[in-house]
Amino acid sequence: MSDPQHPIDPEAPAQAVPPAFTPPEETRPRWADPPADPPTPPRWLEPDPLDRPAASAPNGGRGGMLGPLFAVALIAAVMASSGTYLVLDASGALDRVTPAPGGTTAQPASTTTIRIDEDSAITRAAAIVSPAVVTITTREGSGIGVDPLDLPATGVGSGILFDASGWILTNRHVVAGAQTFTVKLKDGREFSGRTYGIDTLTDLAIVKIDGEDLPVAPIGDSTALKAGQLAIAIGSPLGSFENSVTAGVVSALGREITVTDEQTGQPRRLRNLIQTDAAINQGNSGGALVDALGQVIGVNTAVAGSAQGIGFAIPIEVAKPIMRQAVAGEPLSRPYLGIVYTAVTPTLMRQAKLPIDYGAWISSSDGRAAVVAGAPAAKAGLKDGDIVTAIGGQRIDAGHSLEDILVRYRPGEEVALSVLRDGATLELKVTLGTRPADLQ
C-alpha cells in the first residue's frame, strides 16, 4: 500500500451464528477512523511509515506528539532464554472516538422480548469461539551446541482457526524465526504447524495445519465497531492458561503504536488498531478479540506495559485480504504505490499554505525522493508536491486515509487517482505494485 480501521440490542431477536469464513468475491473492507491530527504531521513512506524514530518511554513524552508515551509489549510469552519477546513503544491517546448517539425506535403493538445480559453474551461468545482459538508453541534453534546451557528458545502465542482446512491467523511475532512449532487445540489435539506466509504490511501471519473435524471461528466485521461495545479476549496468557476468556469494552478505534523488534532492532508502526480494556497478557498474541455475537473482530497483538487496561488488536478487516489469499493458495501480498507523503489536515494546510485541507501531500523533508524511482507512482506520473485527493473515487480525508483506501485493492489492479497539481485537478491511472517484503 502507500509509504508512509454490535452491540446487542436487548429488544432484538438473537442472531444466528454465521458460517465459517469463506472468501467472498472482491470484498473491499471499510476502515475505522484514523487518529486525530498531531500538531506536526508525520510523513509516511508507503506503505509502512518509518520516518520517525520509535518513541521512547523514559521521559514520558516527546515534542510534537499529543498525549503521553507509554511502553507496550507484543504479547507472545517467552518460555526460555533468547526468546522472541518483542518490546514496543506506543504513542497513546492520539485520538478520541465518541460512540454514535443511540436513537429510539418505535415498538410495535405486540412484541416478543428476548433479554440478553452481558454475562450470558460473554458465555455464549466464548463457547462459540474458544474451540477455534489455538495455542502455538514455537522453538528456535536445536539446543545442540558447545554450551550445554544453550537451550532452544521456546515461546508461546495464540492463533485463530478461520477455515476448516486448517488455516490459522496469528501474529507475525509469534512465529517469526521459529524453526518448528506445535499447534494445540482446546480439545487437546496437537498438530505440527508450518508458516504459510508473513504479512508485509502489519504484524500478521498465516499458519497451516493438516487435520480433520477442525473447529472454525466465525469472522465478524470490524468496520461496524463502536467505542463502548463489549469486547472479549480469548487466548493463552503466560503460555500456561490456555483458552482464557476476559471481557471489557472497545475503548477506542484507530490507535497507532510504534513497535521495536528486539531481534532486529527495527521500529515499525502499527496503525488503525482497536484499543480495549479486556485483559490481554503475554501469550495472548494472535488470539481472538470477539464481539457479543461470538464473531472475531480483531487479533490480539500488544499491551501497554506501563498502564493497566490498555491492550491493542489488529482489526479483522485488515487481515481479511491475506486470509482470502491463503485459502485461495496465493502468496500473501499487499498493494504498493511508492511515495512519501503527509496526510493533509487543516493545521498542515495553514502551516504549509496548501490550497485544501484534505488529501495526501507528496513531499519529503529528509533528502529522500518523495516519489520512488521506478515505482508505480512514478510510472503513473505523480510528482513531488502533488496532492492525491481521491483513490477510485473515494476521497482521502480524516476518515479515509490513503493507506486505508489502498489496502482494499490488489497488487496488479489499476486504480484511478485524483491529483491536485498547481491548482489543476488531474485524473491519473496507476497499476499497483506489490509491496516489497523488506520495506521498512
* CATH of region 335-434, choose from 3.40.1350.10, 2.30.42.10, 3.60.150.10, 2.40.110.10: 2.30.42.10
Task: List Cα–Cα distances, 239 to 77, 150, 389, in angstroms.
Answer: 6, 21, 47
DSSP conformation letters of 14-60: PPPPPPSP---SS-----PPPPPPPSSPPEEEBTS--SSPPP-STTS
Instruction: Write down the pLDDT at residue 256.
Output: 85
Instruction: Write down the pLDDT at residue 265.
Output: 72
CATH number of 229-328: 2.40.10.10
Choice among 3, 158, 173, 277 that is catalytic? 173
SS3 173: helix
Instruction: Write down the pLDDT at residue 268.
Output: 79
Say whether 110 is catalytic: no
Residue 328 CA to residue 179 CA, distance in Å, equals: 25
SS3 347: helix
Residue 438 CB neighbours (<10 A): 6
Fold entry, domain 123-140+154-209? Thrombin, subunit H (2.40.10)
Return the C-alpha cell found at 379: 510510472
Say whether 6 is catalytic: no
What are the backbone angles phi and psi of residue 23, rounded to the nearest 5°? Answer: -60, 115
Residue 280 CA to residue 231 CA, distance in Å, equals: 11
Choice among 203, 221, 291, 397 that is catalytic? 203
Which residues are bridge partners to 334 per DSSP? none
Residue 334 CA to residue 193 CA, distance in Å, equals: 24
**Residues of the chain under the 50 pLDDT cut:** 1-40, 47-71, 77-112, 114, 142-152
Q: Where are the domains of the chain?
A: 123-140+154-209, 229-328, 335-434
Cα torsion for 327, 332, 336, 338, to the nearest 10°?
180
Instruction: Write down the pLDDT at residue 223.
Output: 86
Question: What are the residues whose beta carbons fall under 8 Å from the beta carbon of 50, sequence distance 6 or more?
Answer: 267, 268, 269, 440
pLDDT in tens, 397-406: 987 888 878 8
Q: Which of 73, 38, 42 is nearest to 57 (CA)?
A: 73
Say whether 400 is catalytic: no
Choice among 2, 158, 244, 285 that is catalytic? 285
Residue 42 CA to residue 53 CA, distance in Å, equals: 11
Topology match between the domains 123-140+154-209 and 229-328:
yes
